[in-house]
Amino acid sequence: MQEKGLLIVLSGPSGVGKGTVRKEIFSHPDTAFEYSISMTTRSPREGEIDGVDYFFKSRAEFEHLIKQGKLLEYAEFVGNYYGTPVDYVRETLDSGKDVFLEIEVKGARQVREKFPEGLFIFLMPPSLSELKNRIVTRGTETDDIIQNRMLSAREEIEMMELYDYVVENDQVERACERVKAIVTAEHCRRERVEHRYKKLLEVE
């Protein structure tokens, strides 16, 4: 019987660097995770590519997928939808491969309800002032949106209890190493592997 893959969920407040950490993890050739690309109705930022960074959809297209039940999770955040296509995730896990999701906190809560056996990692900024600085430095947000993101960040940090691990993104390479170490440890968790090794007892 094919052993299912591990669903890895990386989440955290907007501006914490989820996308940067994810890109660094997947820049290494030894990364064995399958990245599940999220869908969004927000406009692409400079350098973002449709089908690589996100699947960029219109609001009408996104809402049609919601009605069809084709999203594992979705959330509306600062006026835009974000979501995860469900079929790809299930098929990849069933094939034995790990799936890596980089999603918003509200979406992660939905995934936790459907996949409680998943691995949930909360990416934390070194401080709220540093988080605001990162958002401002993007140069893509108005003052009102920055204020909304900071209010949302406080609410999201309070939801940390939904996660299994917390990783501080003080330095991108260090954060990536911590995430990969957590995944390695999870694959060795007794509850995940004991059935495989108990079969050894059946062999004479």
Q: Given pLDDT bands bounded at 50, 70 and 90, which one contains residue 101?
A: very high
Can you read off the two tokens belonging to residue 12?
């955290």
The DSSP output letter for 62 is: H
Q: Is the pLDDT score of 195 beyond 60?
A: yes
Asked if the model's pLDDT at residue 29 lies above 80, the reply is yes
Across 26-35, 53-62, 132-141, least confident range:
132-141
Residue appearing with tokens 């995730």: 89
pLDDT band for position 122 (cuts 50, 70, 90): very high
> At residue 143, what is the residue type?
D
Q: What percentage of the chain has pLDDT greater than the value 90?
A: 49
Q: How far apart are the C-alpha atoms of 100 and 160, rounded to whole Å?
A: 19
**Token representation of residue 118:** 């998943």
Predicted pLDDT of residue 37: 87
Q: Are 14 and 126 in contact (CB under 8 A)?
A: no
Q: What is the pLDDT at residue 1?
A: 54
Q: Which residue has the higher pLDDT, 167 or 77?
A: 167
* Model pLDDT, residue 41: 96
Q: Which tens digits make up the pLDDT trace of 157-183?
A: 989 999 999 999 999 999 999 999 999
pLDDT interval class at 203 (50, 70, 90): low
